[in-house]
Structure 1
């Protein structure tokens, strides 16, 4: 029996098929126009993106073929987009070998004007791109930054030794900028005063370039600044008094410039939110100012390698700095005694006072600080008897040093079992409580063995601002052989002292 389909039913079936066909064509057309993202990208914006990337990675890169929908179903690593008025625009461009599939620069990479045609760019980062310092140096564009003045919030150039010249003053027109990082490049010249126009800045990092001249006093007007890092340049002159106005500052690093000088301004005491102060490796003078004790949030203070700083430690009420964890004052020309108030720094883990002219006997309470893990007292004029327990020397190992204090001695232990823990490079006390001057027989052996380990301790100095810790030659502190040698030395010493 055959089944027949009437004309009305045939008409309905044909109409349904036609509707489905038209819907399919419509969907394909919309997908081709919008991509899977559901929104178009302005043609000029897309072309500017492709051309800007070509400037970095090379002319061989054909973005329209590789990434026909860079904000949709064919995204580009390092490119981020946002919607504005129903269309996609590039909001962030990150160039450099961050990930395996990141955009990597060609040997002839360049900064092209197409970057400044990205109308809604908020973040630009160029990392390890301009690496050649001879064949292909690149300069930062001078005049085009104003085109991004209403959008750009973050600008970073990191590890680009082939990026040379000066910071263009036009960067000062980026009034929305919150983060400016120019780190480890080949830039030189003075710091432009126009950077002080960036009143929205929260982070200003200008470290490891070749900048010269003084720090502009106008920087003190950047009231929103949280981080200021101008370390490892060739800056000179005094610290601006206006720095006292940076009351929001959390980190101030001006280390390793070599020629920053003058007295420390008392206004630094206004920085009550500061957690890191690093001015090491300069030529400051006038001693430690009492106003430092107003920096009640300090966790790390580094002033080492300022041989003309001088002064003493007693002018500061150290008990006010209860958050202090690291204090590095080595090679600063300090004189006087180590004050008892330092023993109230209950969170202190690192104390560096080496290579100064400190006098007197170290307070024994230093060994009782609950978190102390590094204590360097070597190279001073300390005298008397080290009254630290033997267990302290064992715990600290290479992270304690008191050698090169000719009139300092340590008290021998009462039992041979604790004789392993001795301060290397320090002579045992005689019966009168002074450093033993005997260098005959077994005593000479003990002294020579101690002095022979001084070289190892001299190699164990640390970079406190980086949070590093000293380690033994094998990377793990004292080895078993060193402990055996120390034990042998202690037994010989006991024979000399008690027999």
Structure 2
């Protein structure tokens, strides 16, 4: 092999190696953005692996990249369970290919939900929980049309629930539990653009009646427990629905359950501490309950025999007006 051929071979070998290595490096703009995020959070110990000398796609904690592209772009950012203080860095919005953002179990994280998150047009998964975030549930979330999952639970969010969230046509999970939200459940939630199989709003200060239009939807899970909701909630039930769990406990709901027909799929039902009247329908013996509680209401009549209704002890039934039969005292 002559000198020219040797040099040419060396050149193409080097080029191939460089190109191959480049495919395993995250995009320089994403890397710079992540380093700014680390600095903004005061270089916490949990982000020690974010070393500028290393590839952020292969060795940095909480980072995932899209391997289908030549220059790997960051698609997932997870920061959780460490001693992190400060606010959500605005640079979070400068990761244009981000699909999943998880920031949770950071008790010293404060401030409002970062408005720059509105720039993440590819975002499908948003989980911000177990922090000390304050302020409202932001209206700008409705601009993120690809969102499929929103979990803002266990924070200190206040204000009302934005009705615009119902416009998210891909949304399949919405949890706003354990905040300090007030106002009513938006009327628009009865006309979600897409299917909403999970709706969890528990442990807030929501008030008023449930929009009747919610009865038109087929939820998988409903949790409105521990609020100040009142009125009729019977529209949430139905024989033709595929609901798996309904928790309406510790509110002020008032309706007659005598004619409430449960979905065959319902396995968890908690109605305790309300103002519900009527008698337990015989049809309920056909349900295969994993959890059942109707205590602290104003129910009357004999508890139907059969199915799973006698599998639960008296604590699931007591403190009702005149309910009787096993597992309570015999009917007179």
Aligned residue pairs total: 326
Q: What is the DSSP-based 3-state SS (H/G/I as helix, E as strand, rest coil) of the residue aligned with 2:127?
A: strand
Pairwise CA RMSD of aligned residues? 3.4
Q: Which moved more, 1:354-363 or 1:48-57?
A: 48-57
- Structure 1 length as normaliser, TM-score? 0.57
- Structure 2 length as normaliser, TM-score? 0.83
What CA deviation, in whole Å up to 9, does each residue of 1:198-220 have, x standing for no partner? 22211111101011111111122
C-alpha separation in 2, matches of 1:196 and 1:163: 24
Q: Confirm or deny: 8 A CA contact 1:187 1:210 kept in the other structure.
A: yes
Structure of larger gyration radius:
1
Match of 2:196 in 1: 249
Match of 2:106 among 160, 163, 167: 160
Q: Say whether residues 1:89 and 2:72 are aligned partners.
A: yes
Q: Confirm or deny: 8 A CA contact 1:220 1:245 kept in the other structure.
A: yes
C-alpha separation in 1, matches of 2:240 and 2:104: 31
C-alpha separation in 2, matches of 1:302 and 1:212: 22
Q: Confirm or deny: 8 A CA contact 1:155 1:180 kept in the other structure.
A: yes
Q: Say whether residues 1:361 and 2:316 are aligned partners.
A: no
Match of 2:254 in 1: 310
Q: Confirm or deny: 8 A CA contact 1:268 1:292 kept in the other structure.
A: no
Q: What is the DSSP-based 3-state SS (H/G/I as helix, E as strand, rest coil) of the residue aligned with 2:116?
A: helix
What CA deviation, in whole Å up to 9, does each residue of 1:232-291 have, x standing for no partner? 11111111110012250110001111x21111111111222x111010101111133345
**Superposition pairs of residues 15-414 of structure 1, within 5 angstroms:** 15=1, 29=14, 33=18, 52-53=37-38, 56-57=43-44, 63-65=51-53, 67=54, 75-82=59-66, 86=70, 88-91=71-74, 122-131=75-84, 137-142=85-90, 144=91, 147-148=94-95, 150-246=96-192, 247-257=194-204, 259-272=205-218, 274-290=219-235, 292-293=237-238, 296-306=241-251, 308-318=252-262, 321-345=263-287, 347-365=288-306, 368-369=307-308, 373-374=311-312, 376-382=316-322, 385-386=325-326, 402=328, 408-409=329-330
Distance of aligned partners of 1:354 and 1:253 in 2 relative to their CA distance in 1, 3 Å threshold? same
| Bigger proportion of residues as helix | 1
User: Can you give the 5+ residue segments of structure 1 that lack an aligned partner in the other structure?
Assistant: 1-14, 92-121, 132-136, 387-400, 403-407, 410-432, 435-499
Of structures 1 and 2, the one scoring higher in RCO (CA 8 A, sep 6+) is: 2
Q: Confirm or deny: 8 A CA contact 2:184 2:207 kept in the other structure.
A: yes
What CA deviation, in whole Å up to 9, does each residue of 1:311-359 have, x standing for no partner? 22124233xx1111111111112222222232233x3332211122221
Distance of aligned partners of 1:302 and 1:41 in 2 relative to their CA distance in 1, 3 Å threshold? closer
Distance of aligned partners of 1:185 and 1:38 in 2 relative to their CA distance in 1, 3 Å threshold? closer
